[in-house]
Amino acid sequence: MPQSRITEALDKLSSKKAVKYSVYLTAVVVFFALIFLPPLLGIIIKWGAIQEVLNQQDIMERALNAIKNSFLIALFVAAVDVVAGIPMAWLITRGKSKWLSVLDTLSDIPFIVPTAALGYSLLLFWSEPGGISELFGGSLVSPGWVLVVLLHFTFSYPVVVRVVVGALLDYKMEYEQASRTLGAPPLMAARTVTLSIIKPSLIAAFILAFARSISETGATMMVAGLAFENGPVFIHNMKTEYLETSPAIYEGSTAFASFILIAISCLIFGIIRGFGPRLKMPIRRVWPSFERKLSYSKASFTRNSVTLLIFFAIVLIPSLFVALPALQAVFTETLPNALSGSGIWGEYWQSLMLSYFLGALVTILNVIIGLPMAIIIARRKFGALPSAVLDLLVNIPLIVPSIALGVSLRFFWKETLVFVPELLLLVFAHLAITYPYLVRAMSAAVERISLDLEEASRTLGAKPLGVFRTIIFPLTKYSLFSGAIMVFTRSVSETGATLAVTTLKTAPVVLVDWVKQKMQGVPLELDIGLGCGFLLLFSFIILLALRLIVKGEGRY
């Protein structure tokens, strides 16, 4: 077979040190050139512009206030999410009912709903007439910071639950059983043993929830109302207010806000990474009779009920509430309008195509440039320290607000390549934002494979590429797929960076526009509902298809 001759030739090539290392080196260079350095340099290029707005007191005040809001909300939401997510994960992994697998699947739903659709859904549920507000007469939660907090809680919740469920499934039950046989009631065993042992996962869950909250732009803009600003909303407002009238203020204020957002995010990430492991759970103190009371049936029934109530009332139903107008729209003329692409719908379909095209392209590119990086990190190809440093750097796009990343990316590429096509900018931005997802998923998967297997394969005569083809890839393909799915979903959901780098409109951007324009009468509620519905439906179909292809243990 000619194909096998090609792989044979490639295999042989891969055993040459020079070839092997140039592949790795290219991956590192691409990482720095496309992902890591541009945002950093973008801000440095605009350093002058920042200094010009420093004395604009009103704008500075607004900026700092918005940034403060961002971090307060992110820290608060991440903490609450972890506290609320643990009992849910516990119920899913430890409960005995057969309905729990349904609950497990349900808990993923807000994760699948693109955040723009989620934002509108929450807006409808909490504050528009027709939602829960109707029961209370008027708007229960009007747009503003409370709604932002609710929104961020909702979309971070499934991430936290997923991480904690994973940790609990991997956890060796014997530790907890040992604790029980030594006399600890269930709650005490969980507190002193289980939660302490899965602490790294709890920290990871906190960081992920924090990062999601700090980054989210589109949905936040929908529910923020007129008065409330956090970092991303502020940056976007600066763009709409000053881009035309006073470019200097626009550049200075957005560069300033981006810089502060990036710097503080990195700082917080560093602090959590550095001090998290040293953080001791309070396991020295025990309260036998009190914890015993809280352990048994009545208390645990109450706990489970509250957990389920929070899940259904605050997470699941609000997330899916948009299905109502979407369904209504199906039976009105909105559907034929939409399908014929008349009026506002022409733009919608274009944006939807762009979204999915972009998602697919970015996923493929990420696999190509991310795979070697994952192996470098997992196998310490350049030594322990460089790998650890790379591991840290790769995470940065994950924790930095995507709109800030987009702002500085645009500055960089616009200054260096004047005629850079908008589409390319968009690809660069999405590439940078989604890069960590694939690399992290893959490096973790490769790390789990015992080095012995690779060595065994080598001693049996496999060349390095052959080892990858025959050992690493088959054993990590689920993780590769799950990484790819995360990249794809993230790209399709992304609003902040898209808004920041280009005027091209992806589907979430169009939806945000629609919600903002709704005050003027067009589009109608049914239009937006159906728009969200389509986005949700297609994303769901694509994910389902991918899942069926992957079919197996892979969870995202």
Site of interaction with another protein (CB under 8 A): 172, 174-175, 177-186, 188-189, 192-193, 196-197, 199, 283, 286, 288-289
For another protein, the closer of residues 189 and 205 by Cβ is 189
DSSP secondary structure string for all residues of 19-38: HHHHHHHHHHHHIIIIIIHH
Sign of CA dihedral 373, 198, 211, 273: negative
Count the residues in the chain.
556
By beta-carbon proximity to another protein, the closer residue of 181 and 459 is 181
| Minimum CB distance to another protein smaller for 174 or for 333 | 174
Neighbours of 376 (CB within 10 A): 25
Q: Return the half-sphere exposure (C-beta side, CA atoms, 13 A cut-off) of residue 163.
A: 20
Closest separation in Å from C-beta 182 to another protein: 4
Nearest residue (CB) to another protein, 188 versus 497: 188
Neighbours of 249 (CB within 10 A): 18
Please say whether the beta carbons of 218 and 512 come within 8 A: yes
Nearest to another protein of 286, 339 (CB atom): 286
Sign of the C-alpha dihedral computed for residues 15, 440, 541 and 85 taken in this order: positive
Tell me how far, at minimum, the Cβ of 173 lies from another protein, in Å. Answer: 9
Q: How far is the CB of 285 from another protein (least distance, A)?
A: 9
Closest distance of CB 451 from another protein, Å: 19
Residue 245 and residue 106: Cα distance in Å, rounded?
47
Q: What angle do CA 172, 93, 121 make, to 5 degrees?
A: 140
Minimum gap (Å) between residue 1 Cβ and another protein:
43
Cβ nearer to another protein, comparing 33 with 283: 283
Q: At what angle do helices 115-126 and 525-550 cross, to 10 degrees?
A: 130
CA distance 112 to 92: 19
Task: Name residue 150's amino acid.
Answer: L
CA atoms within 13 A on the CB side of 199: 16
Cα–Cα distances in angstroms (integers) from residue 13 to residues 10, 22, 400, in the given order: 5, 12, 39
95 or 247: whose CB is closer to another protein? 95
Q: Note if the bond before 386 is cis, omega within 30 degrees.
A: no
Question: Which of 7, 196 has the CB closer to another protein?
Answer: 196
* CB 208, min distance to another protein, A: 22
Nearer to another protein, 204 or 399 (CB): 204
CA distances from 253 to 9, 43, 214, 248 (A): 54, 11, 18, 8
First to last CA, the chain: 35
Closest contact distance (angstroms) between CB of 178 and another protein is 4
Integer Cα distance of 187 and 295 in angstroms: 5
Least distance in angstroms from the C-beta of 199 to another protein: 8
**Comparing C-alpha atoms, which of 63, 122, 459 is closest to residue 249?**
63
CB of 424 to another protein, least distance (A): 49
Instruction: Please say which residue, 183 or 521, places its beta carbon nearer to another protein.
Output: 183
Of residues 40 and 197, the one with the C-beta less far from another protein: 197
Closest to another protein by CB, 110 vs 185, is 185
Q: How far is residue 66's CA from residue 72's CA, in Å, rounded to a whole number? A: 10
> With contact defined as beta carbons under 8 Å apart, do 491 and 434 qualify?
yes
Q: How many CB atoms lie within 10 A of CB 361?
A: 16
CA angle at 326 for the pair 434 and 140, rounded to the nearest 5°: 85
Least distance from C-beta 187 to another protein, angstroms?
A: 11
Q: Which is nearer to another protein, 72 or 281 (CB)?
A: 281
Burial label for 519, CB within 10 Å (0-12, 13-18, 19+), is exposed
Q: Judge whether 225 and 142 are in contact, CB under 8 Å.
A: yes
Q: From CA 538, how far away is CA 356, in angstroms rounded?
A: 9
Q: What is the DSSP letter of 311?
A: I
Smallest separation (angstroms) from another protein to the CB of 19: 39
- The CB-of-186 to another protein minimum distance in angstroms stands at 8
* Cβ at position 299, least distance to another protein in Å: 14
Cβ at position 286, least distance to another protein in Å = 5
Instruction: Output the six-digit token pair for 44.
Output: 């440095």
> Smaller CB distance to another protein: residue 295 or 304?
295
Cis status of the peptide bond prior to 523, with omega within 30 of 0? yes
